[in-house]
Amino acid sequence: MDHPGSPTLEQVAALAGVSRATVSRVVNGSPKVLPETVAAVERAIGELGYVPNRAARALVTRKTDSVAIVVPEPDSRVFSDPFFAGILRGVSRTLAPTSSQLVLLIEPAEADDQRLLRYLRGGHVDGAIIVSHHGRDNVLQELAQLPLPIVFSARPIGVDVPVASVDVDNVAGARTAVEHLLSIGRRKLGTITGPLDMTAGLDRLTGYQDVMKKAKLPEAIAFGDFTADGGEQAAIRLLDDHADLDGLFVASDLMATAALRVLSQRGRRVPDDVAVVGFDDSVLATTTTPRLTTVRQPVEKLGARLAEILLAKIGGTKLTSPEIYDTELIVRDSA
């Protein structure tokens, strides 16, 4: 059958033998339509090649069929750290069977906070997942209070309202890493932290300090930022100040790869002279020389769960409790 121009709702209704209102209900996913009617409408849509007008549909349903992933990081970090790729894979896998499209919002500068908030308030998306957030200014508090379904990829620092979040037990994971270094006979243990305005950075440092305090051993701390450059500079400072280190816990695999390079440049053999443990169990962990012992966090599972919670909140379910997943130590050659 020939249908010149873009097919209309009226043409779908005529071909299916139903009213325009019935077609609209089917297109908008209403449960109040008989299955045989839905089938007739879907056959007509397929034959005509009808594509719903998303803008018009949004006016009726107040839904955009779009969700945002907000990453308040420079794009150089987003596209270089395997953590973000894992989160995106998990989110995308969960959204694939739904009608929701994914919008990636990268926030390159603090000055863009208000622009981000205006966008999220503007009805452009049905909800948002906030990943890799920093506890600066009041933006997290403002995000948590938006009239929009929101879920965080870790507990947000400084937010005093209940929010939904998904994370791993970073404190326990770090403890496991440091305890492993002690178990293989290392006693002069240092750490390279993540940024301390992030939950992961704070909690992984806390895990290191808990074990060192219990073992009555002196701490050796260098502050990093979850980037390779930051890890390299932190490793240089740490070895300058503590040349006799024999164990090192690094708060991310990306920083650990940089630390391995610095140790090699200093002539320190891994693991003979210095045993190294990272955190993430990203793809990097099996490409280093030696292969990296690390703490595994189920990144894709976290991404999938973030999307599941967001879809539930968009559907009207009230979820405000944090979910915490276990980590696992993966022993390889570096420790």
217-244 pLDDT per residue, tens: 999 999 999 999 999 999 999 999 999 9
Looking at the structure, do residues 241 and 316 belong to the same domain, yes or no? no
Do the domain assignments include residue 335?
no
- pLDDT at position 320 is 80
Give the burial class of 55: count Cβ atoms within 10 A of its Cβ; 0-12 exposed, 13-18 middle, 19 or more buried.
Answer: exposed
Give the residue among 70, 53, 52 at the shortest CA–CA distance from 121. 70
The mean per-residue pLDDT over the stretch 2-7 comes to 60
Residue 184 has pLDDT above 80, yes or no: yes
CA quadruple 5, 6, 10, 11: dihedral, nearest 10: 60
Q: In angstroms, rounded to a whole number, what is the distance separating the alpha carbons of residues 105 and 120? A: 10
Intra-chain end-to-end CA distance of the chain, in Å: 69
Residue 109 predicted with pLDDT over 70: no
> Is the residue at 242 inside a domain?
yes
Residue type, 313: K
Residue 176 within a domain? yes
**Which stretch of 14-18, 33-37, 116-120, 285-289 has the lowest confidence by average pLDDT?**
116-120
In this structure, are 161 and 253 located in the same domain? Answer: no
d(C-alpha 122, C-alpha 159), whole Å:
22
| 152-166 tens-digit pLDDT | 998 888 787 888 999
334 in a structural domain: no
Q: Say whether both 175 and 292 belong to one domain.
A: yes
Give the residue-averaged pLDDT of 63-79. 83
Look up the domain containing 199 and give its range. 170-297
The CATH number of whichever domain residue 74 belongs to comes to: 3.40.50.2300
Residues 330 and 251: their CA atoms lie apart, in Å, by 14
Cα–Cα distance, 192 to 56 (Å, whole number) = 52
Give pTM, 2 decimals. 0.80
Residue 26 token pair: 């089917």
277 shares a domain with 129: no
Q: Is residue 195 scored above 90 in pLDDT?
A: yes
Confidence at residue 80, expressed as pLDDT on a 0 to 100 scale: 85
Phi, psi of 72 (to 5 degrees): -80, 60
Predicted confidence at residue 2, as pLDDT, reads 45
Residue 332 within a domain? no
Structure tokens at 232: 């390299």
Under the banding of pLDDT at 50, 70 and 90, the label for residue 46 is confident
Q: Are residues 110 and 50 in the same domain?
A: no
φ, ψ at 275 (rounded to 5°): -90, 140
pLDDT of residue 124 exceeding 60, the answer is yes
Answer whether 252's CB lies under 8 Å from 231's CB: yes
Q: Is 110 in the same domain as 255? A: no
- Check residue 3 and give its pLDDT: 47
Would 329 be classed as within a structural domain?
no
How many structural domains compose the chain?
3
Same domain, 196 and 128: no
CA distance 320 to 303: 17
Average pLDDT value for the chain = 88
